Structure formats: C-alpha cells, structure tokens
Structure 1
Amino acid sequence: MYFYIVEGLRNKSVFKALPRLKDELAKRGIIGEIVTTNPLKNASDLLELGLRKGYSTIVAVGDDAHINELAGLLLSSHVALGIIPVNASEALCRLVGVFNLQEALRALQLRKIREVPLADVDGKAFFLTHVTLKSRLPTLFTAIFEDFTLNASTTEIIIANLNPFTGECLPGKLTFFVKNLTKPAGFLDRLFKKVPNLDFGTKITTPALKIETRDPFPVYLGENEIVKTPATFKALKKTLRLVVAKTTFSNA
C-alpha cells in the first residue's frame, strides 16, 4: 500500500490534477491513502503519520522542493520514495525516468527500486539533483575546495548531485558548474584547460565545497530559495530507496 503526500501549500497545479490522479490510481489498483499538506500539517508531519501507520512506500506528489524535502527525511530508511512530479524540473524527472502522470503511475506499479545518494546544504536541506545560484549581473564569489580556492565572477553556478546535462550520478561526488567564468584565479587557468569544456562552461568534481560571497546570495532548489551564502555543499554516502522507471539512467 502507498501513502501519497500531496503538496498543497505552494503548488496550485496539484489541486487541478488531484481528481484525475485519484481516478487513475483507482483504475490501476494503487489507490493507497492520500493526504495533503496544509497550514496545520506540513510534509514532515504527514510523513510521520504514514510511517506510524506502517506504509512501506511514500509517494511525493509535487515539485522539486516537496520531493527533495521528503527524500531527505527518508534518507537511510528502509521505506521507499515514489514520485509523481507536478511542475518538477526536467533533471528530477530524468532521475526517476518519468515525465508525465501515466509514466509515474506505471513506475509505481512496477516498483523498481534504485539506491540513490543525496547531497546536503549546510545540513539543513537535501537535494537529489542540483541547486543553483543565479544573478542578473556577474557576481564575485569564492569557492573553497579541498585542495584549492577559486575567486571568480559569474552569473550562474550549478552544484549537482545528478549531472543536469547527462543524468550521470557519481556516488560521493558533486559537480560544480560555472557559467561564463570571467575572472579565473591565477594558476587555475591551467587546471580549467584540463577539464572538459561543456556548453555551460567550467566544471569541477568534488566531494564538498563552500561558497562565499560579499553579500548574502540565495541558493535555489527548483524555484524555491533554501539558504543564502555562505553555504557548504556536501555529497552524502547515505542513500535513498527511490522508485524509478525501468528505463531510468543508472550509474549509482
């Protein structure tokens, strides 16, 4: 039996899709129990309820922020997480191998499990795919890695647990992407020439890094701000039991 936690506070598209979702679940015989977040009960409260009732599969219905919140709460748990994406990013849909309601329901029926590593930001927020730092104008930043420090300016940074361009997932590693790097730091010019040059710009693979900026700068998960800089990002060794489609990319 599945316990569906529907995002009801931010995602209006979920409410529009809910009647159809209930009909499709009934047709496929995977109805389970459906609950919706509200001002009195958030996703964490509802997850606790589902676990107390003994459900072995929790299904997140919503966007990136909702899905990643539940993923973090289920980290290292024997309970599996299923996903029905609504207004979710392409990267997250690619991770589970579903891009519409029918594909998501098919994956839930088959219940193929993949162990997927997560990453965290300051130990406060978890992410399956990637987080971004964006600005309209080039912004100075300092990226602190294990062996060196990079001082530069850019309009966009992606820190990926799952490569948003290829779908590749490297256990224990994050990938740091920089767009339009305008001020490389000294000897790192040589280092960058050794790194494959993607359309997005420079990339560096690392288990952890810290980003500092002169003024607090927002870090986004999907469309939602989760923290501000300075912020530390870390790839975790713990994994999540994720329900995926049979055709999903697997590199974990």
Structure 2
Amino acid sequence: MGREQLSVVVTTFNSAGTLDACLRGVSWADEIVVLDSGSSDATTAIAAHYGARIHAQPFAGYSAQKQAAIDLASHRWVLLLDSDESLDADAAACLQQALCAPAHAAYRLWRREWQFWRWQSRRGRLNHYVRLFDRQRARMSDHEVHEEVQVDGPVGVLDAVIDHHGEPDIAGRVAKANRYSSLQQADLAKRKVSWLRLRMVAYPTVAFLRYYLLRGHWRSGWAGFIAARIHAFYAFLKYAKLYERQRPRD
C-alpha cells in the first residue's frame, strides 16, 4: 500500500550546527522545504546538500514564519520541524506507517529535550506537539511565542519521538527565557491578567514544582534541577515584565 506524499517544512536562521542532523533524519520524505531568514553561515549549503527547496524572506515572527513555510509546501501532508530537531529511524518508520492510511487530521509527536550536557530521562514526562498534519485542515496559531498548530479535525498521537537539541548551555537557556518573556507580552496583553503581584510571588514556585516533580525532571539529576529553576525564572519574568508594562510611570 502506498502512503501519502509528505513535505517536510523547516524554518532556519544560522542553523548550521543542527540542520544536518535535522534533514538527514527526513531525507526519505518526498519534499523538503526550507524557509531561511537571512543566514550568514552554511545553513543554505546544508539544505542544498539534501535537495531542499530553499526560499528566503525576512523573519516575520515565529508563527507567521512557520505558516509562510507551510504555505510553500507542495503536498497536502506536512511534517513541521524546527531546525534543531531531528528524528531517528524508529520515528521515521512510525511516521511512514501512519501516512499509509491516515486516520486523523493531524498527529502529535513526543519531544525529548537536551538539557545542557545530557538528554532528559526517558522515564520523565515528554511533551507532545502537533507536527504531522493535513495542511488543508490546519494553521499556525497567532501567538508571538509558544505557537502551535491548530487543527480542524481529530488529532491522534504517534509513538514517535523528536529529539530537540535546543540550547547547548545554561547561558543560552537563560537568554531564551529573557527573549521569550519579552515577546510574550503581546499575547498577555490580549487578555486581562488578574492578581498580577500574587502571580509574581507564587507562580514561579508552582512552575518549578510542576516542571521538576510532576514532569519528572528530577530524574535528570542536576541538569533537570537547573532546567526547572530556569523555567521558574521564565515564569517570574513574564509576569514581572507585564507588571512593569502596566505600572504607571512616576
């Protein structure tokens, strides 16, 4: 039995350090589409090595850039990957099997995180995200950060894991927390956030306990502890910056 043709869609910017692993794991796809936003390293050369169809446009924001890349796909079924994500052979086989007779409009895939010097424990809780979908029944949300694929139809879950190489060190993770907390102000401003000062005080602790204990990152040793602390710092920053934004100037 044949399978649905698949377009793999990746957005890039100076992604040479991780793009080779990303595209090598999907070299079996019918098409690879790379939308670049002005890389100055070997990103486009790596994409060309894998026969990708390369397009370029200035960065329009995380969600808008990904939607623009999805719109460039030739095939109905799309696998959306970040340039620092990769699939192993087992995950690829799982996707190919699902595409033989898709029973849903989209599928969630599990994601395993690199934490500074080690992979998170497989016994911890993995997040899952919609990444394989029928693009005629799905679009990106309009969030500034933490964008997601919104699907008109049933969503299944595949037993396939994406490896997210992410930030290689603590400094990179902290810089990302600072950047994302600033970008998220536009999303927070769209809704009324009550008890803002209480959130600044209490929510970082809640975020730490949920990340470290409930999601099982304590199984990853000190790497998991540090990641949880940075996650709590991000939770504090987003509300502190909102408080700063809303507070009248003296």
If asked which structure has higher relative contact order (CA below 8 Å, sep 6+), I would say 1
Structure holding more helix per residue: 2
- Shared fold (TM-score, shorter chain, > 0.5): no
Shorter-chain TM-score range: 0.3 to 0.5
TM-score by length of 1: 0.33
Structure holding more strand per residue: 1
TM-score by length of 2: 0.34
